[in-house]
Structure 1
Amino acid sequence: MSAEEYVWREHIVRRLREKRKGCEGFKEIIIQNNRLIDHVAQLKSDNLKLSVENEQLRNAVSTGGTGPNVAMVTLEKKLLAQQEELTELHKRKGENSQMIVDLNVKVEQQKKLLVEKEHSLYEQQTVNNRLRAEVQLLHCSLEELKKLNTTLLDEHTALQLAFSSLEDKMRSVQDENRCLLERIMRYKSKDADKLNEENESIIRKRSAKLKRDLEDAVREPNSLNNQTVPASSGTPLHRNSTSPAQFVGSLVSDDDFDEASINGAMEALGLDEDEYINARFSAGEAMHEATRASIDTLKASGYLGQPNPTKILMKFEAHENESHAVRWSPVERMVATGGADRKVKLWDVGKGLTEPRAVLSGSSAGINSVDFDSTGAYILGTSNDYGARVWTVMDNRLRHTLTGHSGKVMAAKYVQEPIKVVTGSHDRTLKIWDLRSIACIETKFAGSSCNDLCTTDSLGSTIISGHYDKKIRFWDIRTEKQADDVLMPAKITSLDLSKDCNYLICSVRDDTIKLLDLRKNQVISTFANEHFKISCDFARATFNSSAVKIACGSADGTIFIWNVNGFLETTLKGHRNDYDLNIFRSTAVNAVSWSPNSNSLASVGKSKRCIIYSDS
């Protein structure tokens, strides 16, 4: 059987089935018609029987049968019955006719409905065909977009490879530059050594000459009796009136320790070179002992009378999962925390409640940092969903959502309150946002993932950012220029700025905290301990309100508090033990925050808990 024959046979069968379906509306009419036909046949049969009987009766009458009156009466009764039956039949016939009319009306209605259905079916088929054409066009467009996306991916891969090669070249150039700098430093050191040798030779010659002059003076009579300091020194001093160490320590300080001072002191005391050096050493030892005693006094008093927050004021479960960020409100006794459960929570510390004052939602991934504006009216949070959000503290509403980064956003700060915000991301960029238009107005390309940032003043003219490539970068938003970078020994996890904007602390992944003087852009102190380990790439260190103490959490659950002078004041171990389960479990501390209005410290970590420390 050919394919064409099979097609038309299928078409005929389909049309017959459709015709059969179309007869369903006439089924009742056909049944009623069949009943009427059967009833008419039955009536015809009865009529025939009655006609036969009537004929028989007539024959009987005509033949003069017995009882003609009785037969007539019987016939009349039968005739009357037949007439009544005929009347009933006529009545039924009229009813059947009316029923047929009604059924015809229904048939017409069904035909109209069928026409409407066919028309609607035609329209639906037309719409279906149009939608199929649109789907086909969309499929073609999708294929074109896939091809375009593949092309863009290839271009992106090529650009990424080119960027990687350029980055490798940059690193090689930086290494070469570092090597050149080291060589220059070595050459300068050699030059300095030569200069020192020349100076030492000159000093030795002058010392030899001085010794000869002293020997000549000793040979003269009464040369050393009652010797005094020359009148130009201002105060007479007999040699035996005080010890050489005391006199040398008072006469020549470290600030004016030069050759002229040495010669003047030696002439004044009548000492040779060895005696003079011993006197200076004794004076230095005395000054060192005094300095050490003052440092011990500071340690005992907690540095200028400020006690450390060693008592646990509150301990509560802050989030369902790991807690990443904590920050005090600048105007209230309130703490904001952010965690991996995608929520920012506000806690009233002053009331001592363990239930959150508010839960700020809207993020679709974990929170990395939280921060208040200077008035405490707005709270700024960053997230792993490549965005940052601004909530109002008064009504706990989400006001702005800042999206545009292609990597997780690690930090955000207000630049010009309350209209501008700067964000730092792992996509190697910093973005400045205008909250009035909710748009990015400037993008700074750092070349490395940003882990934290801060601004230097209320106008936010300078932005400081810490990066994965071990550099601290300085950005002036008023100009396109970038200040010199400061290189750290390892990648940077956090930054915090003192209130006077003169000092910056930087937590580094080599388990140290660096203190920088921003007036010189130099590291002036390093804080470390054999038990101190940075817990993660976003671990936060912080100044207290007076910028005399530094706090940072460790990977073993301990919080270390240093004095800016360099010594460790105390350690807090509230995160180390889980007393509810009666087991010892070390949990890393991710972030700490000092209260700006009191000597209180808040900390969060991987144990989900937030702990508030106080000094009373």
Structure 2
Amino acid sequence: MSTEEFVWRELVVQRLRERDRKECQNFKEIIVQNNRLIDHVAQLKSDNLKLSVENEQLRNAVSTGGTGPNVAMATLEKKLLAQQEELTDLHKRKGEHSQMIVDLNLKVEQQKKLLNEKEHSLYKLQTVNNSLRAEVQLFHSSLDELKKLNTTLLDEHTALQLAFSSLEDKMRHIQDENRSLLDRLMRYKSKDADKLNEENESIIRKRSAKLKRDLEDAVREPNSAVNQSVPAAGGTPLHRNSSPAQFGGGATVSDDEFDEASINGAMEALGLDDEEYINARFTAGETSHDLRRSIDTMKAAGYLGQPNPTNILMKFEAHENESHAVRWSPVGRMVATGGADRKVKLWDIGKGSYCLRKSATEPRAVLSGSSAGINSVDFDSTGSYVLGTSNDYGARVWTVMDNRLRHTLTGHSGKVMTAKYVQEPIKVVTGSHDRTLKIWDLRSIACIETKFAGSSCNDLCTTDSLGSTIISGHYDKKIRFWDIRTEKQADDVLMPAKITSLDLSKDCNYLICSVRDDTIKLLDLRKNQVISTFSNENFKISCDFARAAFNSVATKIACGSADGTIYIWNVNGFLETTLKGHSSAVNAVSWSPNSNSLASVGKSKRCIIYSDS
């Protein structure tokens, strides 16, 4: 017999004894009293018998006569009557006690049934307890195994941590070597640039000498076609041997008095382009500052620059909801738009009356994959990839050729407002509302560096194809400069209000910044200061991500207003024209890099293409 079975039997016996003790203890006094009553009844029966005998004897004595016995008999009859009454009372009490015994027996039966039920429940609970003890033992064994496995994993983690630390040290060493190599490369490039500049200067000097000789030869030839008069602003002929500020007979005319016919006629007669015209005036004795001021004045007047796009070439519904972003492809006539309907769409922009008549246009491709509205779109320099940012905290890269989603960049904790290529096509920088900028390696689809700006980023741009400097505009009114080669941050530029967009000229010397105080600032990055401010009494920035843009030659600035009008300023500071067509606020504009066309989108879901023809 096992120890467990012995304990079980002892427990049952002990509980039975306890039950008997509890159930008998309650009725012990009743049983004792009942026994006493039974003994008393037996005693009374014997006394009654004796009295009956004595009564018979007395009756016999009375029957035989005598007065004395009659008195005794009367006394005995009274005594007998009292005894009979007492006996009747005792029988009554006996019946009551018998009924109590019956009731108690019923209670005992009920208690026995309850005890059986409890014993059955106890058996079931003991069975469950045994199964639970078996499970506990199994869990104890599993816990021991897990502890051993945890110890093994901790040892492996320690080993991997050591290996990671070693690899991280190697990576830092390689990064240091990479930086040193980049510095050497930049020094070599600087030397090459210096040599190239020297060669260009020698070529320019030779060309200037040649032009001087040609001008002198033209002056000597009395019947030369170049020496013929070209009408100037005041009717005075312009000769090849005179500067554009000096006209025949010694008359002097300011640069502002040029008209298009005189300038174009003089340059066409001489066969010169802009730079050759400057060199020719340089040989005539003017300073380089005066020459550049003169050519800038002519370009500002629209004589040497592109005309303004004033005609609506195309008008179509770009998205199902509000349109947020637009960007021209650097190659071909294609526009990418992004909107609140979570899609990026590509549109072929044609020419001709057919496009003007066409009221609705089908997109060339619809790029899907985003789970929230699109905030910005951009192309790489070859026009092969489209980069889009979204409110779902991510950025995505699609290929233009097959319209497939190639990369999804997730890691920001706020909506991503802007993204640009750096060191294309292998790296991308993104700016987000989570107050960080992240640099992504598209080969590993991983974030390789995080810049903590301390304020929400609304837009950014990069200075060159290597992405050596990143410029970001923020909610806290600051423009921040990040040098990713040295990991140093240059001095911030503080604006009067929060910044909605940035755009950089192709030569990386000038930056425009749209500010929420309804102005656009022009910064000279060589001086790192604002040199001009563009505004108008009717011009209002439409939203916190409204985009302004340079044209392809950085001579004009366009930006949409909250009233649906597009304003175009000349970089010299004056407003050239305004474009109508939108019925609600304009969110973004983009100049075509290959033609004098302007694309715009706004809250009315409509995209409008403006052209100069």
Q: Deviations over 1:147-196 (max 9, x none)?
A: 99999999999999999999999999999999999999999999999999
Q: Deviations over 1:543-589 (max 9, x none)?
A: 000000000000000000000010100000110xxxxxxxxxx4000
**Take 2:296 and 2:442, find their aligned partners in 1: how far apart are those partners?**
51
**Cα distance change of structure 1 residues 224 and 133 upon mapping to structure 2, 3 Å threshold:** closer
**Cα distance change of structure 1 residues 46 and 231 upon mapping to structure 2, 3 Å threshold:** same
**Cα distance change of structure 1 residues 184 and 277 upon mapping to structure 2, 3 Å threshold:** same
Q: Deviations over 1:289-343 (max 9, x none)?
A: 9xx9989985995252421111000000000000000000001100000000000
The offset of 1:615, in angstroms, is 0.5
**Cα distance change of structure 1 residues 502 and 14 upon mapping to structure 2, 3 Å threshold:** farther
**Cα distance change of structure 1 residues 13 and 126 upon mapping to structure 2, 3 Å threshold:** closer
The offset of 1:268, in angstroms, is 42
Secondary structure of 2:286's counterpart equals helix
Structure 1 range deviating more: 263-272 or 535-544: 263-272
The offset of 1:22, in angstroms, is 42
**Take 1:487 and 1:494, find their aligned partners in 2: how far apart are those partners?**
14
**Cα distance change of structure 1 residues 159 and 383 upon mapping to structure 2, 3 Å threshold:** farther
**Take 2:312 and 2:231, find their aligned partners in 1: how far apart are those partners?**
65
**Take 1:545 and 1:295, find their aligned partners in 2: how far apart are those partners?**
18
- Asked whether the equivalents of residues 542 and 550 of structure 1 are also in contact (C-alpha less than 8 Å), the reply is yes
Equivalent in the alignment of 2:341: 341
Equivalent in the alignment of 1:517: 524
- Asked whether the equivalents of residues 313 and 351 of structure 2 are also in contact (C-alpha less than 8 Å), the reply is no
The offset of 1:447, in angstroms, is 0.4
The offset of 1:287, in angstroms, is 18
Structure 1 range deviating more: 267-276 or 539-548: 267-276
**Take 2:293 and 2:113, find their aligned partners in 1: how far apart are those partners?**
112
Structure 1 range deviating more: 115-124 or 450-459: 115-124
The offset of 1:203, in angstroms, is 45
- Asked whether the equivalents of residues 409 and 425 of structure 1 are also in contact (C-alpha less than 8 Å), the reply is yes
The offset of 1:350, in angstroms, is 2.1
**Take 1:271 and 1:596, find their aligned partners in 2: how far apart are those partners?**
24
Structure 1 range deviating more: 15-24 or 116-125: 15-24
**Take 1:399 and 1:76, find their aligned partners in 2: how far apart are those partners?**
129
**Cα distance change of structure 1 residues 453 and 5 upon mapping to structure 2, 3 Å threshold:** same
The offset of 1:375, in angstroms, is 0.4
Equivalent in the alignment of 2:81: 80
- Asked whether the equivalents of residues 211 and 272 of structure 1 are also in contact (C-alpha less than 8 Å), the reply is no
The offset of 1:370, in angstroms, is 0.1
**Cα distance change of structure 1 residues 320 and 513 upon mapping to structure 2, 3 Å threshold:** same
- Asked whether the equivalents of residues 346 and 357 of structure 1 are also in contact (C-alpha less than 8 Å), the reply is yes
The offset of 1:527, in angstroms, is 0.3
The offset of 1:591, in angstroms, is 0.2
**Cα distance change of structure 1 residues 471 and 281 upon mapping to structure 2, 3 Å threshold:** same
- Asked whether the equivalents of residues 207 and 273 of structure 1 are also in contact (C-alpha less than 8 Å), the reply is no
The offset of 1:29, in angstroms, is 60
Q: % of aligned pairs identical?
A: 91
The offset of 1:285, in angstroms, is 21
Structure 1 range deviating more: 119-128 or 536-545: 119-128
- Asked whether the equivalents of residues 425 and 450 of structure 1 are also in contact (C-alpha less than 8 Å), the reply is yes
Q: Tell me the TM-score normalized by structure 2.
A: 0.53
- Asked whether the equivalents of residues 58 and 69 of structure 2 are also in contact (C-alpha less than 8 Å), the reply is no
Matched, 1:480 2:461: no
- Asked whether the equivalents of residues 25 and 110 of structure 1 are also in contact (C-alpha less than 8 Å), the reply is no
**Take 2:368 and 2:405, find their aligned partners in 1: how far apart are those partners?**
8
Q: Deviations over 1:404-440 (max 9, x none)?
A: 0000000000011100000000000000000000000
**Take 1:597 and 1:323, find their aligned partners in 2: how far apart are those partners?**
24
Q: Deviations over 1:40-95 (max 9, x none)?
A: 99999999999999999999999999999999999999999999999999999999
Q: Could you tell me which runs of 5 or more consecutive residues in structure 2 were left unpaired when the two chains were aligned.
A: 353-360
Matched, 1:181 2:178: no
**Cα distance change of structure 1 residues 265 and 133 upon mapping to structure 2, 3 Å threshold:** same
Equivalent in the alignment of 1:310: 310
Secondary structure of 1:490's counterpart equals coil
Q: Tell me the TM-score normalized by structure 1.
A: 0.53
- Asked whether the equivalents of residues 318 and 609 of structure 1 are also in contact (C-alpha less than 8 Å), the reply is yes
The offset of 1:131, in angstroms, is 16
**Cα distance change of structure 1 residues 11 and 196 upon mapping to structure 2, 3 Å threshold:** closer
**Take 1:318 and 1:89, find their aligned partners in 2: how far apart are those partners?**
114
**Take 1:588 and 1:260, find their aligned partners in 2: how far apart are those partners?**
39
- Asked whether the equivalents of residues 463 and 474 of structure 1 are also in contact (C-alpha less than 8 Å), the reply is yes
Which runs of at least 4 in structure 1 moved beyond 6 Å after TM superposition? 1-241, 243-247, 249-289, 292-297
- Asked whether the equivalents of residues 25 and 107 of structure 1 are also in contact (C-alpha less than 8 Å), the reply is no
**Cα distance change of structure 1 residues 271 and 135 upon mapping to structure 2, 3 Å threshold:** closer
550, 553, 560: which is aligned to 2:557?
Answer: 550
Secondary structure of 1:285's counterpart equals coil
The offset of 1:442, in angstroms, is 0.1
**Take 1:371 and 1:212, find their aligned partners in 2: how far apart are those partners?**
49
**Cα distance change of structure 1 residues 176 and 412 upon mapping to structure 2, 3 Å threshold:** closer
- Asked whether the equivalents of residues 423 and 432 of structure 1 are also in contact (C-alpha less than 8 Å), the reply is yes
- Asked whether the equivalents of residues 389 and 416 of structure 2 are also in contact (C-alpha less than 8 Å), the reply is yes
**Cα distance change of structure 1 residues 197 and 136 upon mapping to structure 2, 3 Å threshold:** same
The offset of 1:450, in angstroms, is 0.1
The offset of 1:222, in angstroms, is 51
**Cα distance change of structure 1 residues 569 and 119 upon mapping to structure 2, 3 Å threshold:** farther
**Cα distance change of structure 1 residues 475 and 5 upon mapping to structure 2, 3 Å threshold:** same
Structure 1 range deviating more: 167-176 or 498-507: 167-176
**Cα distance change of structure 1 residues 208 and 141 upon mapping to structure 2, 3 Å threshold:** same
Structure 1 range deviating more: 601-610 or 255-264: 255-264
Structure 1 range deviating more: 131-140 or 272-281: 272-281
**Take 2:589 and 2:350, find their aligned partners in 1: how far apart are those partners?**
18
Q: Deviations over 1:459-493 (max 9, x none)?
A: 00000000000000000001121000000000000
Secondary structure of 1:89's counterpart equals helix
Structure 1 range deviating more: 429-438 or 15-24: 15-24
**Take 2:110 and 2:89, find their aligned partners in 1: how far apart are those partners?**
31
**Cα distance change of structure 1 residues 478 and 350 upon mapping to structure 2, 3 Å threshold:** same
The offset of 1:520, in angstroms, is 0.4
Q: Deviations over 1:176-232 (max 9, x none)?
A: 999999999999999999999999999999999999999999999999999999999
- Asked whether the equivalents of residues 231 and 261 of structure 2 are also in contact (C-alpha less than 8 Å), the reply is no
**Cα distance change of structure 1 residues 524 and 439 upon mapping to structure 2, 3 Å threshold:** same
**Take 2:576 and 2:506, find their aligned partners in 1: how far apart are those partners?**
22
Structure 1 range deviating more: 18-27 or 230-239: 18-27
**Take 2:274 and 2:384, find their aligned partners in 1: how far apart are those partners?**
69
The offset of 1:360, in angstroms, is 0.3
- Asked whether the equivalents of residues 329 and 335 of structure 1 are also in contact (C-alpha less than 8 Å), the reply is yes
Structure 1 range deviating more: 4-13 or 90-99: 90-99
Q: Deviations over 1:115-136 (max 9, x none)?
A: 9999999999999999999999
- Asked whether the equivalents of residues 230 and 262 of structure 2 are also in contact (C-alpha less than 8 Å), the reply is no
Secondary structure of 2:251's counterpart equals helix
Q: Deviations over 1:350-405 (max 9, x none)?
A: 278x1001000000000000000000000000000000000000000000000000
**Cα distance change of structure 1 residues 228 and 540 upon mapping to structure 2, 3 Å threshold:** closer
**Cα distance change of structure 1 residues 171 and 224 upon mapping to structure 2, 3 Å threshold:** same
- Asked whether the equivalents of residues 568 and 578 of structure 2 are also in contact (C-alpha less than 8 Å), the reply is yes
- Asked whether the equivalents of residues 312 and 612 of structure 1 are also in contact (C-alpha less than 8 Å), the reply is yes
**Cα distance change of structure 1 residues 93 and 420 upon mapping to structure 2, 3 Å threshold:** farther
**Cα distance change of structure 1 residues 614 and 120 upon mapping to structure 2, 3 Å threshold:** farther
**Cα distance change of structure 1 residues 388 and 138 upon mapping to structure 2, 3 Å threshold:** farther
**Cα distance change of structure 1 residues 106 and 236 upon mapping to structure 2, 3 Å threshold:** same
**Cα distance change of structure 1 residues 357 and 252 upon mapping to structure 2, 3 Å threshold:** closer
Structure 1 range deviating more: 58-67 or 415-424: 58-67
Structure 1 range deviating more: 544-553 or 98-107: 98-107
Secondary structure of 2:241's counterpart equals helix
Count of aligned positions: 601
Secondary structure of 1:244's counterpart equals coil
Structure 1 range deviating more: 261-270 or 294-303: 261-270
Q: Deviations over 1:491-546 (max 9, x none)?
A: 00000000000000000000000000000001000000000000000000000000
Secondary structure of 2:562's counterpart equals coil
**Cα distance change of structure 1 residues 329 and 167 upon mapping to structure 2, 3 Å threshold:** same
- Asked whether the equivalents of residues 492 and 506 of structure 1 are also in contact (C-alpha less than 8 Å), the reply is yes
**Cα distance change of structure 1 residues 506 and 219 upon mapping to structure 2, 3 Å threshold:** closer
